[in-house]
Amino acid sequence: MRTRQLGATGIEVSAYCLGTMMFGANGNRDHDACVRMVHRALDAGVNFVDTADVYGYSETEEIVGKALKGRRDDVVLASKFNGPMGEGPNRRGSSRRWIMRAVEGSLRRLGTDHLDLYQIHHPDPDTDIEETLSALTDLVRDGKVRAIGSSNLPAPQIVEAQWVSQQRGLHRLRTEQPTYSILNRGIEREVLPVCRRYGMGVLVWGPLSMGLLTGRYRKGTAPPDNARMRWVPRHLTDEGKLDAVERLLPVAEEAGMSLTHLAMAFAATHPDVTSVIIGPRTEEQLADLLAGAPRTLDDEILDRIDAIVPPGTDLGPLDISYTPPSLTTPSSRRRPPDSRAAA
């Protein structure tokens, strides 16, 4: 397994990061099987594990904690906060009040006294970024967190966070975790150049576009009736994306690899991508992903991919991607009726 520097942190991480969202209630309910997957990944050279408190509403972190007993020192362990962890309005978000509670819960479930990387799971438009960075800075100074990062943060907000850190003497965001795949290349426009500018490590999620880039979902065929289809049905039946998949399949075949391996190699090829998150649900899926780790793509293959999905192009958002309130809340784009009449 190849390793790379995680931005300017001095931390060395594997080119593949084991994502654990499918461990527990979200996917594989067999805890022993999930523990075996963690051990198999570590034995294959993966030293980077990413989780979040909201995955399985604590269950996933407990599984990861069990799997890392006796092996914690060999692992770069990352978790995230921000998602809802209960009914109360203050059991979520990026306030100091919640961060200080959330980190203690994650540390307890993971059975460790520190996190190597603690990430803001989603932007929080209701919380001043200085409030968040101040709390995270205290966690670093207390030794509970080694480095801090963000996930799904738009490029302007990354720049704002870096500026606030500089002006207020706070710890900087050292990593960003955006979605990236052949079908979702939007981060190539601004997010990746901004991360390069600030020396941030980048760990990307969704390299298989939630399963579309495995070749299991084909145009003109009935989609399988499974939990994933009920979870993200629009994404997996998007005609534009399915058209691209049909054009990518012969590219993979002529390159002598599966579409899955082509997609993973594509994500790992970008020079600004530090680590690609794999999210297996089964041991068989993990074995296949690990088998493709040595794969690389030459310029001819990359040029053919560019012709199908041009650089910087998103063929449509993932159904679970972050969408800012400016797009989801109509009132943020429309003047009140009375003011329209006055104008």
Q: What amino acid positions are annotated as catalytic residues?
A: 55
Q: Which is it for the CA torsion 245, 286, 195, 99, positive or negative?
A: positive
- CA gyration radius for the chain? 20
* Contact present, 28 and 22 (Cβ < 8 Å): yes
Give the tokens for residue 240.
Answer: 């534009």
What string of DSSP letters covers 222-236? PPP-SHHHHHSHHHH
144, 137 contact by CB (below 8 A): no
Angstrom CA distances, 328 to 323, 325, 331, 332, stand at 7, 5, 9, 9
| Distance of alpha carbon 333 from the chain centroid | 29
Specify the 3-state DSSP secondary structure of 25: coil
Please state, in angstroms and rounded to a whole number, the distance separating the CA atoms of residues 308 and 86.
43
Residue 168 structure tokens: 């207020």
> How far is Cα 82 from Cα 73, in angstroms, rounded to an integer?
26
Taking a C-beta distance cutoff of 8 angstroms, is the pair 89, 127 a contact?
Answer: no
Rounded Cα distance between 218 and 58, Å, is 35
Measured CA angle at 295 (ends 309, 197), to 5 deg? 60
* CA-based max dimension of the chain: 69
147/132 Cα distance (integer angstroms): 14
